[in-house]
Structure 1
Amino acid sequence: MKYIIFDIDGTLTDTTEVDDRCFTRALEDVFGFKGFETNYGHYVNTTDSGIIDQLFQEQHQRTYTDAERESFISHFCNLLKAAYAQEKHCMKEIPKAAQIFNTLCGQEGISIGLATGGWRESALFKLRCAGINLEGCVATSFAQDAKARRDIIGNTIRQMNEQHNIEVPKNDIVYVGDGRWDYEATKQLGIRFIGINNKKLAEISHIVKLDDYDEIHQHLWNQAVPA
């Protein structure tokens, strides 16, 4: 058995721009934050939960409560829905992502999971809008499950091992992502990484980067584990 685990924004769905815009607006509307860093790759944990936790620690010397989290998610999702209603094109698949995802889900000897730094509710909404069907997906993890991306990915791996009643070797696990933080998380976990070619990964030259999802099959199992 081999595991392939996907990120969502920028990996399966072309939603990074609208997600960042609505996330920033929700931080201002719900928590009253002003003048904060909106290049979210600069945060210690580039996840929705990690970013909000860091802002709360910096500005209020505490983390957020469950009630504050739920209020934020509700408003954030409403902003995403309003953006989609106004411009359907803002939430589409990365070209060929749905087809590749469905093909891999039906392939014998392969198990598919999701691990994203976004909230469950917002992630599932964006996937639906982009036409990504999760029927064949074995396990999912979201920002509610952990603040660090490595822990979110690790949670999906644990679920998949429990589902299959095995412990798959790290060399047989691939994470597909689009950010430097994704690559760093795979290094910490000792699993394989495949990147979606974009400017966020431009400075990392020694990894596999996909220009087209049709290329993924040739790269799945013929690469070294991140050093």
Structure 2
Amino acid sequence: MMQSIIFDVDGTLWDTTEVVAKAWNRAVEEAGVSAAKITAEVLKKEFGKTMDVIAQDLFPNADAKEREHILELCCKYEHEALIENNENLLFPNVKETLEKLSKKYSLFIVSNCQSGYIELFMKKAGVEKYITDIECFGNTNKSKGNNIKLIIERNKLRDAVYVGDTQGDYEATKFAGIPFIYAKYGFGKVDGYYLAIEDISELLDIE
């Protein structure tokens, strides 16, 4: 019986790719580094990876120091852009579903994002009170699988599942030893999952 649900963010709870692409292109231009134009479609293929891997993919001609500088600018401008954004970036039914789920299950978030991103998401979505604990790559420098394990150990979880949208998410749950629920409406294509959902509200019908 499912007792706890751990969520991914990008491609599972919201879609920020249009906003983030503009912010990252601004950062690349300011850094003066040669790079291909970043689009929402490009980011949908990258989100779910750790930030260092994304930097290697998007800025292959930059050295390690340049990538670090670009990433700092990307995160800075991304954060500013998301704070200023007034559009609803949530996937359908996210806020109301999290509210209902929180009455029955403990809810958590684990992402490969930078520090502060999950907190920003929760504030913009108005879901802080529904989430028990969070963890991310930016805080620990650890893989998603390791961070899922951290959440499980820290909160003494039993019968937890992870909801995500990429093959990397699935591999992380295999590492952590918990079932994976595939959000088919998200960014990725996944082989080998416990359950698949077309809308987050379908979680309300799972026992």
TM range (shorter): 0.7 to 0.9
Q: Secondary structure at the match of 2:62?
A: helix
Q: Distance in 1 between matches of 2:142 and 2:56?
A: 8
Instruction: Name the counterpart of 2:50.
Output: 47
Identity among equivalent positions (%) equals 24
Relative to structure 1, is the Cα distance of residues 24 and 105 closer, same or farther in structure 2, using a 3 angstrom cutoff? farther
Contact 2:35 2:58 in 1 (8 A): no
Instruction: Name the counterpart of 1:10.
Output: 11
Spell out, residue by residue over 1:92-143, the C-alpha distance to the aligned partner (whole angstroms, 9 max, x if none). Answer: 3221111121222222xx32111112223333333333x3311132211123
Unaligned runs of 5+ in 1: 162-167, 221-227
Q: Among 164, 174, 180, which residue is 1:177 paired with?
A: 164
Contact 2:49 2:112 in 1 (8 A): yes
Q: TM-score, normalised by structure 2?
A: 0.75
Q: TM-score, normalised by structure 1?
A: 0.69
User: Amino acid of the residue matched to residue 113 of structure 1?
Assistant: F
CA RMSD between the two structures: 3.5
Spell out, residue by residue over 1:169-196, the C-alpha distance to the aligned partner (whole angstroms, 9 max, x if none). Answer: 4xx1111112222112112222111121
Q: Distance in 2 between matches of 1:10 and 1:210?
A: 13
Unaligned runs of 5+ in 2: none
Q: Among 200, 208, 211, which residue is 2:198 paired with?
A: 211
Relative to structure 1, is the Cα distance of residues 181 and 198 closer, same or farther in structure 2, using a 3 angstrom cutoff? same
Instruction: Name the counterpart of 1:120.
Output: 115
Contact 1:50 1:147 in 2 (8 A): no
Instruction: Name the counterpart of 2:130.
Output: 136
Q: Among 102, 106, 111, which residue is 2:103 paired with?
A: 106
Q: Distance in 2 between matches of 1:30 and 1:92?
A: 28
Deviation at 1:61, TM superposition (A): 4.7
Deviation at 1:31, TM superposition (A): 7.1
User: Amino acid of the residue matched to residue 154 of structure 2?
Assistant: Q
Matched, 1:22 2:23: yes
Relative to structure 1, is the Cα distance of residues 102 and 185 closer, same or farther in structure 2, using a 3 angstrom cutoff? same
Deviation at 1:60, TM superposition (A): 1.9
Task: Tell me the number of residue pairs that the alignment of Structure 1 and Structure 2 aligns.
Answer: 203
User: Amino acid of the residue matched to residue 92 of structure 1?
Assistant: L
